[in-house]
């Protein structure tokens, strides 16, 4: 097999791996509770867990969504008994979010899962040579730069 064919196969494999990762990031899980959570929900729960008494505006900013979207997410999480919504002390319009016991369990199990995933990925890459590691970092950066360029081009095309 010549180099061009080898590179084409590598790109094809990268695409397959990327699709698997995208699929993984769309899957739901219980995270040790009796309630099925979407990736967006567990992400919000994790942010609430790591930011004591976060308000809706702060959550929206961290999620890169509108305050309205953050409010709807919070309402779903209240219904799922994952968080509490309460007015901040001394305020009648700032709503703070805190985890319920069930939300805390989900956040802790999600953290355990993320740590496990990181450990497994490190094991996959750990035994490769320093040169190969360096080459992969360079390839990843070049790929990221290329994808960002394509995104900017598409976004500027849409704005016209």
- The rounded distance, in Å, linking the Cα atoms of 64 and 114 is 21
Provide the pLDDT for residue 24. Answer: 94
Provide the pLDDT for residue 64. Answer: 95
Provide the pLDDT for residue 81. Answer: 98
Mean pLDDT in each 10-residue stretch from start to end of the chain (160 residues)? Answer: 92 95 95 97 98 94 96 97 93 92 98 97 96 96 96 88
- Count of H helices and E strands in the chain? 6, 3
| Pairing label, strands 83-87, 95-99 | antiparallel
Provide the pLDDT for residue 97. Answer: 97
Provide φ and ψ at 109, rounded to 5°.
-70, -35
| Pairing label, strands 83-87, 54-55 | unpaired
Provide the pLDDT for residue 16. Answer: 96
Spell out the domain ranges in the chain: 31-127, 128-160
Cα-Cα end-to-end distance for the chain: 44
Second CATH level (architecture) for the domain 31-127: Orthogonal Bundle (1.10)
Provide the pLDDT for residue 93. Answer: 87
- The rounded distance, in Å, linking the Cα atoms of 108 and 31 is 8
């Amino acid at each position: 097999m010549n180099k061009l064919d080898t590179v084409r196969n590598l790109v094809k494999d990268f695409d397959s791996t990327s699709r698997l990762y995208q699929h993984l990031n769309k899957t739901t899980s219980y995270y040790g509770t009796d309630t099925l959570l979407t990736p967006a929900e567990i992400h919000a729960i994790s942010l609430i867990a790591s930011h004591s008494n976060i308000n809706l505006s702060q959550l929206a900013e961290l999620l890169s969504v509108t305050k309205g979207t953050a409010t709807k997410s919070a309402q779903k999480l209240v219904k799922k008994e994952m968080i509490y919504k309460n007015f901040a002390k001394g305020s009648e319009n700032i709503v703070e979010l805190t985890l319920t016991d069930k939300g805390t369990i989900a956040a802790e199990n999600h953290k355990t899962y993320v740590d496990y995933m990181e450990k497994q990925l490190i094991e996959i890459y750990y035994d490769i040579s320093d040169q190969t590691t360096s080459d992969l970092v360079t390839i990843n950066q070049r790929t990221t730069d290329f994808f960002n360029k394509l995104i900017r081009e598409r976004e500027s095309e849409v704005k016209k």
